[in-house]
Amino acid sequence: MKDNVVGAIQQDPTPDMEPATLGVLAELMLAQAQEMVACKAINDKMKDAIVAKLCAQCDELFSNVMRSMQKEEVKNLWDSDWLPIISGKQAIYNGLAQFHQSKVCNEQKAIGEEIARYLQNIYRFPFQFYWG
């Protein structure tokens, strides 16, 4: 769509129809679609290795969306709420990927790597963990 829309419009495109904007929106839709696949895998209690990979892909896709949304030609188009939401989703899926991969490490008796992955999550999300 982003390649064909400018040629199909008889006038200058509005900012939401610019190729750069459509590219960001396409990346966002891909990240959201992958998010649904990861959520389904978690709800269906799929193997931790699969869930870890799906969550890692979400992490990467939302990270790409963040970079794209901050580009000069499009950064003024988004409400101020969008960047924190995308950043939060990226962090959540990074944490979920680390968590599920740590469970895989436990199964493989890679205890040192398991602990390292747990610690990475504790440092990233200190408000979620209570030692008591």
Q: Please give the average per-residue pLDDT across 14-19, as a whole number.
A: 77
With respect to residue 116, please indicate whether it lies within any of the assigned structural domains: yes
Q: How far apart are CA 4 and CA 76, in angstroms?
A: 24
With respect to residue 56, please indicate whether it lies within any of the assigned structural domains: yes
Judge whether residue 13 has pLDDT over 70.
no
With respect to residue 99, please indicate whether it lies within any of the assigned structural domains: yes
- Within a 13 Å sphere around the CA of 37, how many CA atoms are in the beta-carbon half? 17
Q: What is the mean pLDDT of the chain?
A: 84
With respect to residue 11, please indicate whether it lies within any of the assigned structural domains: no
Closest CA to 47 of 104, 118, 114, 92: 104
Judge whether residue 131 has pLDDT over 50.
no
With respect to residue 6, please indicate whether it lies within any of the assigned structural domains: no
Closest CA to 91 of 119, 70, 60, 114: 60
19-53 confidence digits (pLDDT tens): 888 999 999 999 999 999 999 999 999 999 999 99
Residue 11 φ/ψ region, left for φ over 0, alpha for ψ in the -120 to 50 degree band, beta for the rest: beta
The pLDDT of residue 3 is 55
Judge whether residue 79 has pLDDT over 60.
yes
Q: Domain range spanning residue 61?
A: 16-72+79-126
H-assigned helices in the chain:
5-8, 19-43, 48-69, 82-107, 111-124
With respect to residue 7, please indicate whether it lies within any of the assigned structural domains: no
Number of domains, the chain: 1
With respect to residue 10, please indicate whether it lies within any of the assigned structural domains: no
Q: Please give the average per-residue pLDDT across 88-99, as a whole number.
A: 91
With respect to residue 95, please indicate whether it lies within any of the assigned structural domains: yes
Q: Please give the average per-residue pLDDT across 43-66, as a whole number.
A: 96
